[in-house]
Amino acid sequence: MVNVYRALDDETRRVILDELAASDGQTLFEICSMLTMRHNLSLTRQAISQHLGVLEAAGLVTTERRGRSKFHYFNPEPLAEITRRWPARTGTQ
């Protein structure tokens, strides 16, 4: 659970998750292009790869290799675990 909070603590990683949630199965090249074009973030491929590694270690991103390409997918399960841990209260206290 700590890894999830640490991963979400960085704005760039939250943007990457937002984009993967909107359009799953992107390669590193596609993610880099999206960050540059849509969000005006000019990070190196290595920096973005490191961000993806943090997200993957937290379980928020899964990957699949197809040939020479590696595709990244958003995994919402760790976030669902947080909401199960602290369910929303209904009504008055």
Q: What's the pTM?
A: 0.86
What ranges do the domains of the chain cover? 2-85
Q: What is the pLDDT of residues 57-93, one digit of tens each?
A: 999 999 999 999 999 999 999 999 888 888 777 765 5
Closest among 74, 77, 73 to 25, alpha carbons compared: 73
Q: What is the pLDDT of residues 1-10, one digit of tens each?
A: 889 999 999 9
pLDDT confidence of residue 36 = 95
Quick one: 30 exposed, middle or buried, by C-beta within 10 A (0-12, 13-18, 19+)? middle
How many other C-beta atoms lie within 10 A of the C-beta of residue 51? 21
Q: What fold is seen in the domain 2-85? A: Arc Repressor Mutant, subunit A (1.10.10)
Q: What is the pLDDT of residues 14-49, one digit of tens each?
A: 999 999 999 999 999 999 999 999 999 989 999 999
**Length of the chain as a residue count:** 93
